[in-house]
Amino acid sequence: MTSLPLLPVVDSAACCSSVTRGVLTAEEAERTARTFKALGDPTRVRLLSLIAASGDGEACICDLTEPVGLSQPTVSHHMRVLVDAGLATREQRGRWAYYRVVTDALESASRALRP
Residues 6+ apart with CB under 8 A from 75: 47, 61, 64, 65, 68
Give the pLDDT confidence score for residue 16 in this predicted structure: 59
pTM of the model: 0.77
Is the confidence at residue 10, as pLDDT, over 50? no
* CATH class assigned to 12-112: mainly alpha
Locate the domains of the chain by residue range.
12-112
Q: State the pLDDT at residue 9.
A: 44
Burial environment of residue 75 by CB neighbours within 10 A (0 to 12, 13 to 18, 19 or more): buried
Which pLDDT score, from 0 to 100, does residue 1 have?
Answer: 37
